Homo-oligomer: A and B are copies of this chain.
Amino acid sequence: MDDDVPLILTLDDSGSSTSAPLDDLEREELPNENGGSYDVINDASSPAAGDCCAQQSSARHNWEMNYQEAAIYLQEGENNDKFFTHPKNAKALAAYLFAHNHLFYLMELSTALLLLLLSLCEAPAVPMLRLGIFVHATLELFALIVVVFELSMKMRWLGFQTFIRHKRTMVKTCVLFVQFIEAIVVLVRQTSHVRITRALRCIFLVDCRYCGAVRRNLRQIFQSLPPFIDILLLLLFFMVIFAILGFYLFSPNHSDPYFNTLENSLVNLFVLLTTSNFPDVMMPSYARNPWSCVFFIVYLSIELYFIMNLLLAVVFDTFNDIEKRKFKSLLLHKRTAIQHAYRLLITKQRPSGISFKHFEGLLRFYKPRMCARERYLTFKALNQSNTPLVSLKDFYNFYEVVGLKWKAKRNREHWFDDLPRTAFLIFKGINILVKSRVFQYTMYTVVAVNGIWILVETFMLQGGNFFSRNVPWSYIVFLTIYGVELLLKTTGLGPVEYLSSGWNLFDFSVTLFAFLGLMALAFNMEPFYFIVVLRPLQLLRLFKLKKRYRNVLDTMFELFPRMASLGLTLLIFYYCFAIVGMEFFAGVVYPNCCNTSTVADSYRWVNHTVGNKTVVEEGYYYLNNFDNILNSFVTLFELTVVNDWYIIMEGVTSQTTHWSRLYFMIFYIVTMVVMTIIVAFILDAFVFRMNYTRKNQDSEEDNGIVLEKEISKEEVAGIIELYKRSSAATETAQLQKIVLQMDKYGQMSMLFLGRRSRTKSDLSMKMYEEEIQEWYEEHSRKEESQTPLQEPASASNSSLKPLSLRQRSQTVI
């Protein structure tokens, strides 16, 4: 409902005349509940007249508003939403709440996916999925209308002013407009026209809330572009120089088709940059004069081995720098969000901190699914002082603490501690066995033997259909061993502990798959045969043996989400290029299409008879076409891998114009950017992790952040009292269960463990420890100096009015 302190001071003179006194009272009203003193009220503006009860309910209502706004601030901080999109009034708030929940997000996502998937059905469609023009155009119109609805909600929330200032949204609106017109045109004409604009559909996906990672990647790619382009120009510059040189040197040789014109010379040197035509492009001149290889060696050394690596270095350096700056700005943004939220949660009487009552109110909005126990534990974890209030300094740790998952610390060590003596001894024995090194190494040996067995077995087979045979006995033996191991481990460790380790989970699923494979073999279920071939994956377990592999594989799993988002980013680029490719090149490549080009062989499909045998000569490259979106994706992947991409390029070029090469060259450069970013990312993540490990060699074995908090019976009773007063029945019942449990074990207090996995942000916090303090200081200095200048700009649109007077009294904090 309000924003910064100085902001309110400016508003204060004008608009807060009606609601302010009431609101002010409400602030002051709270001490009643908490046993505070009344006299504090009087130092503020005069108390409004009116019914005490009405006041109280209004106060509660206003507090709820405050909780909600604070929660929104914290969400904005977490999602890195800028504060100028903060809802400004009750109507905007309603729209904000409507547009910020998972149902809405899912709608956004599914609409975007629907639009993207339409390309499967629009001409040129995947044969099996072809739909009539009327059908897919209607579907498209429907999806677009949903997008319009989403955008109107957004406009309601942001207000028109902010809406048109928000670039991404504006671009989306324009694209939407164009798509709309085109969809209607298609519906009216009942025929598809050239619709390259379909490539822009992915903007709907990018704008989804769930695709935040993709947006970040795209931003990072665009930020890395300027230095990238600089080096690219250097690369192209040398290419041009060498093209001119090559033309002068080799065009007198008439048997050399690669350098006969300047254009050919340029194109072939571009392809040579990707090494795709390497020894071939050299061969005619090399056959004539052996020394001409010097030209190519120098070219490749400069371009491929030097400048291309420089490209990587520059991108890596920029990437590093951006990562750090991003982390810094995110950290400061979160800090500001926390400050905003804090100001909304303190009372006039207790300006030094947030009481549990208000903290609980905040969490109700911020994490609705958190239970009462967890809320209190979070509060306790935050509160470093001995007072019942959380100070701003403690509150700064909000994001680190709120993610913890709390569990009562078990008193018993194993799951079978409560069982009768005999059973306990048996399970204890199994437990010791399973945890012993001997058992582990025996299993490794078995896995290794199994691996060699599979290799030898496969080597003995020489082609043919393997799946109609009987089940080999070795398979049964090994599977039995794995089964017994699984059983022992599950019973020895308890299912929960067993499955809490990623490696065990992996073992479990592979064994399960192997078992399913056995079933498939035994019952001759052909479609499942692929499961059998997954057997060798068991061997991956061997990599647990060495620390470096564990490190690498852990890094791999940590990287996975980010890698996936990078992959998605690449797919979005693929989509754009696939649409453009389909519009221009659909159907141009077919068997025996390119007999006039230099790559005719690769497109040949001849069915000729030699003696009495039919010999099929197949070049297969006609399969790499743009005939539908799936084919296009495969073709683009082949272009990404780069090898022999010029065959695809030349094939298409020979059937269209030589301007088509531009498409392929641009695609190469785009994938080069993305791939370089991927390499830079892996490099950065790995080096960062290694440096971190080197810096913290002692705490190497810990897995995640762990916090321990104790709650006494009295505390629980106090909270129950609080909840009872606000008549929250479920919470009360929940808490009473804890009391019962304490009584059962005769304890006066209970220990809880909060746990969460370590994120990149935690690592960064530790790595930049020293710098962070500097950033904070610099930030607060800047804020202090900028406040009078900056705030008035956003004053008009960043506050819900009612709380303005209270704010003035808080200026002293």
User: How far is the CB of A296 from the nearest CB of chain B, in Å?
Assistant: 9
Q: Given the complex, which residues of B lie within 8 Å of A778, measured CB to CB? A: none
B310 and A686 contacting across the interface, CB-CB below 8 Å: yes
Whether a CB of chain B sits under 8 angstroms from the CB of A539 is yes
Most chain B beta-carbon neighbours within 10 Å: one of A279, A317, A536, A616: A279
Q: A644-B279, A683-B309, A686-B317 are in contact. Are A637 and B245 (CB under 8 A)?
A: no
Looking at A369-377, A389-397, A541-549, the stretch in contact with chain B turns out to be: A541-549
A555 and chain B: residue at smallest CB distance: B310
Q: A556-B306, A641-B304 are in contact. Are A316 and B630 (CB under 8 A)?
A: no
Residues of chain A from 225 to 262 with CB closer than 8 A to chain B in the complex: 227, 230-231, 234, 237, 240-241, 244-245, 247-249, 251-252, 254-255, 260-262
A274 and chain B: residue at smallest CB distance: B643
A466 and chain B: residue at smallest CB distance: B248
B678 and A305 contacting across the interface, CB-CB below 8 Å: yes
Whether a CB of chain B sits under 8 angstroms from the CB of A552 is yes
Q: Given the complex, which residues of B lie within 8 Å of A304, measured CB to CB? A: 641
* B-contact 0/1 string along A255-276, CB 8 Å cutoff: 1000011110000000000011
A686 and B313 contacting across the interface, CB-CB below 8 Å: yes
Whether a CB of chain B sits under 8 angstroms from the CB of A634 is yes
Q: How far is A797 from B276 in the complex, measured between Cα atoms in Å?
A: 59
Q: How far is A463 from B647 in the complex, measured between Cα atoms in Å?
A: 25
B278 and A237 contacting across the interface, CB-CB below 8 Å: no
Contact among B290, B455, B548 for A230, CB-based, below 8 A: B548
Looking at A14-22, A280-288, A801-809, the stretch in contact with chain B turns out to be: A280-288
Q: How far is A476 from B312 in the complex, measured between Cα atoms in Å?
A: 41
Whether a CB of chain B sits under 8 angstroms from the CB of A297 is yes
Whether a CB of chain B sits under 8 angstroms from the CB of A618 is yes
A539 and B643 contacting across the interface, CB-CB below 8 Å: no
B244 and A454 contacting across the interface, CB-CB below 8 Å: yes
B455 and A643 contacting across the interface, CB-CB below 8 Å: no
B317 and A620 contacting across the interface, CB-CB below 8 Å: no
A282 and chain B: residue at smallest CB distance: B638
B643 and A643 contacting across the interface, CB-CB below 8 Å: yes
Q: Given the complex, which residues of B lie within 8 Å of A321, measured CB to CB? A: 694
Q: How far is A304 from B261 in the complex, measured between Cα atoms in Å?
A: 35
User: How far is the CB of A346 from the nearest CB of chain B, in Å?
Assistant: 41
Whether a CB of chain B sits under 8 angstroms from the CB of A642 is yes
The contact size tier of chain A is 35 or more
Q: Given the complex, which residues of B lie within 8 Å of A685, measured CB to CB? A: 313
A539 and B237 contacting across the interface, CB-CB below 8 Å: yes
Q: Given the complex, which residues of B lie within 8 Å of A290, measured CB to CB? A: 630, 634
Whether a CB of chain B sits under 8 angstroms from the CB of A794 is no
Q: Given the complex, which residues of B lie within 8 Å of A624, measured CB to CB? A: 279
A687 and B458 contacting across the interface, CB-CB below 8 Å: no
Q: A230-B548, A556-B306, A679-B309 are in contact. Are A643 and B276 (CB under 8 A)?
A: yes
A248 and B458 contacting across the interface, CB-CB below 8 Å: yes
Contact among B316, B465, B642, B686 for A314, CB-based, below 8 A: B686
B245 and A687 contacting across the interface, CB-CB below 8 Å: no
Q: How far is A252 from B309 in the complex, measured between Cα atoms in Å?
A: 42
Whether a CB of chain B sits under 8 angstroms from the CB of A160 is no
Q: A283-B623, A620-B280, A634-B293 are in contact. Are A245 and B463 (CB under 8 A)?
A: no
Whether a CB of chain B sits under 8 angstroms from the CB of A55 is no
Q: A245-B533, A279-B644 are in contact. Are A548 and B227 (CB under 8 A)?
A: yes
Q: A317-B687, A642-B275 are in contact. Are A261 and B463 (CB under 8 A)?
A: yes
Q: Given the complex, which residues of B lie within 8 Å of A647, measured CB to CB? A: 279
Q: A260-B463, A546-B230, A678-B309 are in contact. Are A240 and B556 (CB under 8 A)?
A: no
Whether a CB of chain B sits under 8 angstroms from the CB of A406 is no
Q: A245-B536, A539-B237, A686-B317 are in contact. Are A278 and B638 (CB under 8 A)?
A: yes
Most chain B beta-carbon neighbours within 10 Å: one of A261, A263, A317, A543: A317
Q: How far is A276 from B274 in the complex, measured between Cα atoms in Å?
A: 12
A314 and chain B: residue at smallest CB distance: B686
Whether a CB of chain B sits under 8 angstroms from the CB of A773 is no
A252 and B300 contacting across the interface, CB-CB below 8 Å: no
Q: How far is A263 from B321 in the complex, measured between Cα atoms in Å?
A: 46
Q: Given the complex, which residues of B lie within 8 Å of A642, measured CB to CB? A: 275
Q: A275-B643, A643-B279 are in contact. Are A620 and B248 (CB under 8 A)?
A: no
Residues of chain A from 194 to 232 with CB closer than 8 A to chain B in the complex: 227, 230-231
B312 and A683 contacting across the interface, CB-CB below 8 Å: yes
Contact among B248, B255, B530, B637 for A297, CB-based, below 8 A: B637
Whether a CB of chain B sits under 8 angstroms from the CB of A63 is no
Q: Given the complex, which residues of B lie within 8 Å of A262, measured CB to CB? A: 455, 458-459, 461
Q: A278-B638, A687-B317 are in contact. Are A309 and B682 (CB under 8 A)?
A: yes
A462 and B284 contacting across the interface, CB-CB below 8 Å: no
Contact among B252, B263, B314 for A464, CB-based, below 8 A: B252
Most chain B beta-carbon neighbours within 10 Å: one of A263, A305, A455: A305
A455 and B240 contacting across the interface, CB-CB below 8 Å: yes
* B-contact 0/1 string along A312-325, CB 8 Å cutoff: 11101100110000
Q: Given the complex, which residues of B lie within 8 Å of A227, measured CB to CB? A: 548
Q: Given the complex, which residues of B lie within 8 Å of A543, measured CB to CB? A: 234, 237
Q: How far is A247 from B458 in the complex, measured between Cα atoms in Å?
A: 8
Whether a CB of chain B sits under 8 angstroms from the CB of A722 is no
User: How far is the CB of A665 from the nearest CB of chain B, in Å?
Assistant: 18
Q: How far is A690 from B319 in the complex, measured between Cα atoms in Å?
A: 12
Residues of chain A from 286 to 304 with CB closer than 8 A to chain B in the complex: 286-287, 290, 293, 297, 300, 304
Whether a CB of chain B sits under 8 angstroms from the CB of A537 is yes
Whether a CB of chain B sits under 8 angstroms from the CB of A73 is no
A535 and chain B: residue at smallest CB distance: B244
A278 and B641 contacting across the interface, CB-CB below 8 Å: yes
A286 and B317 contacting across the interface, CB-CB below 8 Å: no
Contact among B254, B261, B461, B623 for A462, CB-based, below 8 A: B261
Q: How far is A287 from B463 in the complex, measured between Cα atoms in Å?
A: 19
Contact among B248, B254, B549 for A533, CB-based, below 8 A: B248
Whether a CB of chain B sits under 8 angstroms from the CB of A11 is no
B638 and A536 contacting across the interface, CB-CB below 8 Å: no
A451 and chain B: residue at smallest CB distance: B240
User: How far is the CB of A90 from the nearest CB of chain B, in Å?
Assistant: 48
Whether a CB of chain B sits under 8 angstroms from the CB of A621 is yes
Whether a CB of chain B sits under 8 angstroms from the CB of A148 is no
Whether a CB of chain B sits under 8 angstroms from the CB of A131 is no
User: How far is the CB of A636 from the nearest CB of chain B, in Å?
Assistant: 11
A280 and B644 contacting across the interface, CB-CB below 8 Å: yes
Q: How far is A642 from B642 in the complex, measured between Cα atoms in Å?
A: 12
- Listed by A's residue number, 15 A-B pairs whose Cβ atoms lie within 8 Å are A230-B552, A244-B454, A245-B533, A248-B466, A252-B463, A252-B465, A278-B638, A279-B624, A287-B618, A287-B620, A287-B623, A293-B634, A313-B687, A316-B687, A683-B683
Sample of 18 more A-B contacts, CB < 8 Å, known A247-B458, A310-B552: A230-B549, A237-B539, A241-B539, A244-B454, A244-B458, A245-B533, A245-B536, A251-B464, A252-B464, A275-B643, A278-B638, A279-B620, A287-B618, A305-B675, A309-B683, A313-B683, A321-B694, A683-B683
4 closest Cβ pairs, A-B complex = A283-B620, A313-B686, A275-B643, A278-B643
